[in-house]
Amino acid sequence: MSHSSHFPHQEPYKLECKPVGLCVIINNKNFMKKKPREGTDKDAESLAEVFSWLGFRILMCEDQESEKMKATLQYFASPGDLSQLQEFSAKEWSGSEFIDPQKAPEHGDAFICCVLSHGELGEVSGIDDKHLSIKEITRTFRETEDSPLTGKPKVFLIQACQGSMTPPGVKSAEQNLQCDSSKPETTADLVNVLVAIATVEDYKAGRDPYHGSWFIQSVCQKLKEGCLKGENISEIFTSVTDEVSKKDGRTKEGPFKQVPEIRSTLTKSLVLSPHHK
């Protein structure tokens, strides 16, 4: 379920709030039974930088068990006060680092949710290796009469393996990649949602321990380039898929390839623009 590249006459979503909206990052690095996901902090900072540049308020929660992830997402679906936010040990991007938040979050005209973790097919992992389905993540923000996000674009970025298979590499490359692996399921078909997953179903997703994951780093770079040109989000993610699918890497198991998957029920053109502060 993907868009064509160009929507010359499509009505855009109105993005008039300041900040534009919230960008929530769940960054699971230190797992109870696995080695740390090296490189994930680089991904989190890259996401914070680019979405801050695009006018969003950035809030990050780290190293969450499955149930805590669920509670965190429910909180952000309909935010409460600052003391509740502090219960989730959230940090806020200040422009150069993550600091303690000073005020409660409020929704604007768009919402971004980034989950950086291990995963299995249709699921992401808490640090306790228990799983939360991508479907459940998106359904937490489903459109209801009292939801502050009804009618507004919601973008989910999932950096996690979706299985244990490795696409064969065309050629070897000098990169020591790691993988984010940890029931077939697909995301709920909810309106005004775009879900971008690092890899197609059944396959692994690569992460460079020094430079971050292929997928998230490509997303951030393509957002920087595309948003300056006024491209809509669907065009940008087509470029991400193209770029990542052409990369060649190597893991301990051998040559490595990766193809992201984009699923969209956006009803309008989502064009994000740099905000000069």
In which element (H, E) is residue 74 found?
Answer: helix 66-77
Rounded Cα–Cα distance for residues 160 and 221 (Å): 19
Clarify whether 118 is annotated catalytic.
yes
Sheet strands (E) in 20-118: 21-27, 57-62, 91-93, 98-99, 110-116
61-75 burial, b at 16+ Cβ within 10 Å, e below that, comes to: bbbbbbebbbebbeb
Catalytic annotation, pick one of 161, 179, 220, 227: 161
Clarify whether 113 is annotated catalytic.
no
Query: What is the gyration radius of the CA atoms in the chain, in angstroms?
Result: 17
Complete edge-to-edge strand list for the sheet that includes strand 206-208: 178-179, 206-208, 212-213
Catalytic annotation, pick one of 118, 131, 179, 227: 118
How many Cβ atoms from other residues are within 10 Å of residue 30's Cβ? Answer: 13
State the DSSP code for 57: E
Both tokens of 212, joined, read 């971050």
Asked if 232 contacts 239 with a C-beta cutoff of 8 angstroms, the reply is no
State the DSSP code for 145: T
Three-state SS string across 124-191, please?
EECCCCCEEEHHHHHHCCCCCCCCCCCCCCEEEEEECCCCCECCCCCCCCCCECEECECCCCCCCCCC
Complete edge-to-edge strand list for the sheet that includes strand 119-120: 119-120, 123-125, 131-133
Catalytic residue numbers read: 118, 161
